[in-house]
Amino acid sequence: MRCNIQIFKKYIFYIILILSITVINSFVFKKVYASNYDVENIIINENFNKDFKKEDVFDKAFIFAFNKLILTLLTSEDKEKIINTNIYTIKRLIDSFNINNERFVNDNYTANFTVSFNKKNTLNFLEKKIYFRQYQKKLVCY
């Protein structure tokens, strides 16, 4: 009887040990895969007059953010293939955007934008426009 209790205590000890190691590993060695490319600090200034349209300001911010993203992702020879992308294509790549510090001062509109591009859609777009796979390193596991 005493032997069975000691064996049971050992099993409980090992089960608790394995569970605690598993939980610690899941917290410490967690892999993070970003699903967005965030482009921050896009500052747009526009004159505020009777022809002012906020959508035009958004379009300027989106184009500027897209060009900034392209500058960081591609080489100079590939940028020329992408740089003249129309606004409707760019809007399809955008996941969300934020407007920070929006101000109307002295007939001047100023806003600070943060634009989030969907990573999967952006990479698919770049693969279609250029041979983008050559820049990505692949891991082959057997």
Residue 44's domain is classified under what CATH number? Answer: 3.10.129.140
Cβ contact 35:120 at 8 Å: yes
Residues 115 and 71 in one domain: yes
Strand order across the beta sheet in which 36-47 lies: 36-47, 108-118, 94-105
Residue 45's CB: how many other CB atoms inside 10 A?
11
Q: Are residues 79 and 13 in the same domain?
A: no
The whole-number average pLDDT for the span 29-50 is 80
Question: Do 34 and 120 touch, CB atoms closer than 8 A?
Answer: no
Q: What is the pLDDT of residues 87-131, one digit of tens each?
A: 999 999 999 999 988 998 888 899 999 999 998 888 888 888 775
Q: Look at residue 12 and tell me if it is in a domain.
A: yes
Confidence bin at 141 (pLDDT 50/70/90) = very low
Q: What is the extent of the structural domain holding 2?
A: 1-31
* One domain for residues 23 and 52: no
Evaluate if residue 63 carries a pLDDT over 90: yes
Same domain, 4 and 48: no
- Domain match, 73 and 15 both: no
My answer on whether 18 and 75 are in the same domain is no
Same domain, 6 and 65: no
Q: How many domains does the chain fold into?
A: 2
